[in-house]
Amino acid sequence: MPRTRTSNRELFSLFRTAATVDFCESCAQVCTGQCCADALLDRARTQALQLHSRSAAADNASGIAVALEAARIRTPTMPDGAGLAVGFLDAEEIGARGSAHHAPTVAPDTVVINVDGAQLGDAPTEAGGPAHALLAALDQAGRETGVPPRAGAMASGNRRYAAAGLPAAGIGMGIPGYQTPAETADRVETHTLVAATRLVVATVRQLAGSVTG
């Protein structure tokens, strides 16, 4: 059987998505240039080797816990004319491919709140896209709950949604031991999970009120 040689260009195409922007390995943020295929493949191999040893207690188990609890609290009280959806994405550690694939399919009137982790600390928040109303809602929610968001880099799926033209915010409340065996459940602080949930619930309430009010 003849051997088939796969070039770097062909390998790179396996990791391309339908998104109009790419995730830049050098600056760790969404940019308009193409990423280096070798760097992307190296990252994929590294992530694959780490999977067996990761507990993922913070990223992304704590973030999922916050999203599910916030949805449980808010769903029964959502007003007419406002919807609520929760999404969980795969392939995020390989150039945010999951959100890159999903973002173009999201309705244009959607507001995105991405919770990457809630293990400890305050609420560094990064907003993108047409996010003025979202930032106002986050600010008011922070005042109500005593969990004020502060400006901070959040290199996660929120950048893919912002690049697709959606108002998007990424919230990350600490991920010690990020993607190592030290990222364990005993390091997740209960009061931080509660604080993150309260912030998200209050923000959704503010946004829903602005839609129906």
Q: What is the pLDDT of residues 57-78, one digit of tens each?
A: 777 788 888 888 999 999 988 8
pLDDT tens for 119-167 read 556 678 999 999 999 999 999 999 999 988 888 888 889 999 999 999 9
Cα distance between the two ends of the chain? 68
DSSP label at residue 127: E
Rounded to an integer, the average pLDDT of 8-36 is: 38
Looking at the chain, the whole-number percentage of residues with pLDDT higher than 90 is 33
Q: Has residue 86 got a pLDDT over 70? A: yes
Q: Has residue 8 got a pLDDT over 50? A: no
Asked if the peptide bond before residue 60 counts as cis, ω within 30 degrees of 0, the response is yes
Q: Has residue 190 got a pLDDT over 60? A: yes
Q: Give the residue with greater pLDDT, 166 vs 181.
A: 166
DSSP label at residue 179: T
Q: What is the pLDDT of residue 45?
A: 47
Beta strands in 63-203 (DSSP E): 112-118, 123-128, 149-151, 168-173
> Structural domain boundaries of the chain?
8-49, 54-212
Looking at the chain, the whole-number percentage of residues with pLDDT higher than 70 is 70
The two beta strands, 168-173 and 123-128, are antiparallel
Q: Has residue 55 got a pLDDT over 70? A: no
pLDDT tens for 29-53 read 444 344 444 454 455 445 544 544 4
Q: What is the pLDDT of residue 6?
A: 33
Reduced to 3 states (helix: H, G, I; strand: E, B; else coil), residue 125 is strand
Rounded to an integer, the average pLDDT of 96-111 is: 92
Q: Has residue 103 got a pLDDT over 90? A: yes
To the nearest whole number, what is the mean pLDDT of the chain? 75
Q: Has residue 28 got a pLDDT over 90? A: no
CATH top-level class for 54-212?
Answer: alpha beta
Q: What is the pLDDT of residue 213?
A: 56
